[in-house]
Amino acid sequence: MKIQLQNAILLFFTIFSISASAQQNATIKGKITTADGKPAQYVSIGLKNKNLGTTTNANGEYTLQRVKPGSYTLKISSVGVNAQEKEVTATAGQTLVLDFILTENSQALNEVTIAGIKNKYKVSLPSASLRLNEPILEAPQNIQTISDQVIKDQQIISMSDGLIRNVSGATRLEHWGDLYTNITMRGSQIQAMRNGFNFVSSYWGPLTEDMSIVDHIEFVKGPAGFMLGNGDPSGMYNVVTKKPSGFNKGEVSFTLGSYDLYRTTVDFDRRITTDGKLLFRLNAAMQTKGSFRPFEKNDRYTFAPSLSYQISNNTKFTAEYTLQNAKMTEVGSYYIFKPDGGYASLPRNFTLTQPGVQPTRINDHSVFLNLQHNFSTDWKLTAQVAYSKYLQTGTSSWPSVINANNTVIRNVGIWDAESTMKLAQFFINGEVKTGGINHRIIAGFDGGKKDYLADWGQSHDLDLPSSPFDLNNPNYGFPSNGYPNFDRDTPLEQRAIAAGGLMDQKYLSGYVQDELGFFNNKARLTLAGRYTYVSQSAWGGPSDKAKHFTPRIGLSVSIDKNTAVYAVYDEAFTPQSGLLRSGGTPDPITGTNHEIGIKKDWFDGKWNTTLSAYRILKQNELTGDPKNKAGETFSIVVGEKRAQGIEFDLRGEITDGLKLIANYAYTDGKVTKVAEGVTSIVVGEIVPGFSKHTTNAWLTYTLQSGALKGTGISGGFTYLAGRATGTYDGSNANKNLPNYFKLDGGLFWENKTVKITANAFNILDKYLFSGAYYTNYWNAPTYDQPAYSWQAEAPRNYRLSIAYKF
């Protein structure tokens, strides 16, 4: 493998060494500031009616290179900015220095979604939904952003489709395919957010987002309760959806790929009124997608219109609606179970799915309403609400019996579900000075009501005990016990009550944070606290109530304008519900995080590095009871687990045309205490669902001049070592997964209107998989029957995309 990796890297850098001679042209550069003297970040500047432009960096600086001699109109523009134009004349070899002052101040400029964030691997500002009124460099937290350009270059089509290679320490081991993303980081599953709202409905969801609606994704590591509500100590990811930009632009793309992948997306962005007050955007996608496994499909369509209206100079209203419709093979079709032989002991395309089983159908509706009002240049109020309605009619598959002779009885269970979420947030951001101290203040409330009901109380064995499914000689003809005929005439709520499938949550939180800036804001002390009250129930049981105060203390110090070190201590509080055999009430999850780190921007902010070290203690977490038998849903309390490690992230443009994302994480997760009476977990046992060593890289090079200008090559790899399984096994002899290495790469060509991208995935054609080991499979003829379970990834496969901008 080392030789293969070395050859791949050598190939990349051999091609990257290609260069073309440059003409004797002019250069235009300078700095753009706002009316209050601050750098104007990510403002577009270019030559009018010419295909030459750029955006300012985090310091407000810009450079236009390779300007041919002649006279031009230099234009500055951005959403919410009064455009400026200036006539310039460039001569051969000349460097023109032109500075500009915008009439808007920095607060107004940060209110809008700025198109300059696009086409970059490195993003310097958090989204407004993170509520931080400061650059990421200055925040005392590890925040990594995956930009829209990265998503397009890597041909990512959903949240479950290779996205996590761009963030250190993120893995998906035991998961739900392309239904729910379920990302594990720092030893736990992290929370799924959308536009700043927690979009996890009970234990499941949200439906993994189609990338056609996604602008970028922010990964916030460590507790983030001060920002977005209750959350796991390990962190969360925040999906920021596309909104009207204020530019008249659009894009249509077509993708085809292996295993009958056909996909079309449309992005239509327009000003409705000439003054730019009323804006509209429509994003839509449609795809059909097969699989390398037989009988498996994942067809989808997405429809997402959004509208924004500038009510006044200080007030803006935005409304979004998203419909995601999915029709896919039953949940669990990608799982394989086998009692002996170890992982990957069946062919890669092996399936336990029975053709003819009803597919799962999902309609996922969501609405976001956002109102922002500027009281002044320094103070802003945001009020936003979200509504979600998730409707699912489908089934799930899982063996009901595993026999030692390599036969199983396949089972199909009903999974009809309905989820409703009503969420609201109200917060203010502002800056004020007291003496020589600068205060960045965040304060607000958030609350919500979530209701989930599901029928999973009906199941049907496809195979008879006298005629089980033979793993060595599979027969996919008519199943010996026929197909299920589930009751769907009875209303879902009644069926959910009978199945114990009722879950709900009500919560209300208040929080305040003050970041005190000393020494001209070079040293920043963060003091924050959140108080949360929650009432919830699960599995049809009684409501549990809890309330808790979580503090946060952080320190960030700027060594220079491009370098900051930080330290943070914070706590997390996550209510949970579950059934304990004792009949007791589970306590909420509590946790503490200690973290230190250093962030640095390089070469005028073109690329950035973050190095962090952390230690997380987490108490009272529930996990499924390994002793559960058929139909049982009992949980056990782990007691306490510890996760600690080191993470490194690098992203940005190293030099003209050469973009790089690289990361490494060392993660060590172990059980440190076991709750009284628990025997199925032991102290020192490895925590499921992470890799001890995680390494990723993605490199892209684009020729900047010459006849092949716009042609590029890209490539990347993922390497995982020390992979823990997806389940506890009650011993220190965890049946861990083998190391993992995946190599991807491709070619592309683009000009101002067209981009063609072709990528090959799993170039080395390795048998890649994730999985779990069950020491005691719950319904085997003998209770101590072990079982290996794994989910294979696709062999070598390809995608070709053509995008047209208009």
List pLDDT tens digits, range 655-684: 989 999 999 999 998 888 887 777 777 888
Average pLDDT of the segment spanning 131-157: 92
Q: What is the pLDDT of residue 37?
A: 73
Q: Nearest CA to 222 among 176, 169, 181?
A: 169
Q: What is the pLDDT of residue 782?
A: 54
Interval 506-519: pLDDT, tens: 999 999 999 999 99
- What confidence category does residue 125 fall into, taking pLDDT thresholds of 50, 70 and 90? confident
pLDDT > 70? residue 193:
yes
What letter does residue 8 receive in the DSSP assignment?
A: H
pLDDT > 60? residue 4:
no
Q: Is 151 helix (H, G, I), strand (E, B) or coil?
A: helix
Measure CA 659 to chain center.
21
pLDDT > 90? residue 21:
no
* % of the chain at pLDDT higher than 90: 54
Helix locations, 662-704, DSSP H? none
Residue type, 441: I
Measure CA 167 to chain center.
9
Measure CA 720 to chain center.
19
pLDDT > 90? residue 382:
yes
Q: How far apart are CA 269 and CA 272, in angstroms?
A: 10
Cis preceding linkage at 474, omega within 30: no
Q: What is the pLDDT of residue 688?
A: 80
Q: What is the pLDDT of residue 539?
A: 78
* % of the chain at pLDDT higher than 70: 87
Residues 305, 276 contacting (CB under 8 angstroms): no
- What confidence category does residue 154 fall into, taking pLDDT thresholds of 50, 70 and 90? very high
Residues 399, 410 contacting (CB under 8 angstroms): yes
Q: pTM value?
A: 0.84
SS (H, E, C) 440-476: EEEEEEEEEEEEEEEECCCEEECCECCECEECCCCCC
Average pLDDT of the segment spanning 735-758: 93
Q: What is the pLDDT of residue 751?
A: 93
Q: 430-437: which pairs have CB atoms within 8 A and are 24 or more residues apart? A: 430/133, 430/375, 430/378, 430/379, 430/380, 431/133, 431/378, 431/379, 432/378, 436/518, 437/516, 437/517, 437/518
Comparing 48-62, 184-198, 464-478, the range with the smallest average pLDDT is 48-62
Residue type, 410: R
Burial class (CB in 10 A: 0-12, 13-18, 19+), 679: exposed
Comparing 67-71, 298-302, 627-631, the range with the smallest average pLDDT is 627-631
Residues 537, 503 contacting (CB under 8 angstroms): yes
**Residue 491: how many other CB atoms lie within 10 Å:** 10
Residue given tokens 């026999």 in the structure block = 403
Q: How far apart are CA 337 and CA 787, in angstroms?
A: 6
Q: What is the pLDDT of residue 631?
A: 53
Average pLDDT of the segment spanning 190-217: 87
Q: Nearest CA to 568 among 619, 604, 614?
A: 614
Q: Nearest CA to 633 among 500, 726, 504?
A: 500
**Radius of gyration of the chain from Cα atoms?**
27
Residue given tokens 């450079």 in the structure block = 63
> Beta 379-393 vs 360-374: how paired, if at all?
antiparallel
Question: Which helix (H) or strand (E) element contains residue 595?
Answer: strand 589-602
Q: How far apart are CA 123 and CA 211, in angstroms?
A: 18
Q: What is the pLDDT of residue 640?
A: 86
HSE-CB for 555 with a 13 A CA cutoff: 7
Q: What is the pLDDT of residue 289?
A: 96
DSSP 270-338: EESSTTS-EEEEEEEEEEE---SSTT--EEEEEEEEEEEEE-SSSEEEEEEEEEEEEEESPBTTT-EEE
- What confidence category does residue 632 fall into, taking pLDDT thresholds of 50, 70 and 90? low
CATH architecture of 249-805: Beta Barrel (2.40)
Domain definitions of the chain by residue range: 25-110, 249-805
Q: How far apart are CA 601 and CA 726, in angstroms?
A: 37
Q: How far apart are CA 415 and CA 710, in angstroms?
A: 49
- What confidence category does residue 627 fall into, taking pLDDT thresholds of 50, 70 and 90? low
Mean pLDDT of the chain: 86
Tell me which CATH homologous superfamily contains domain 25-110.
Carboxypeptidase-like, regulatory domain (2.60.40.1120)
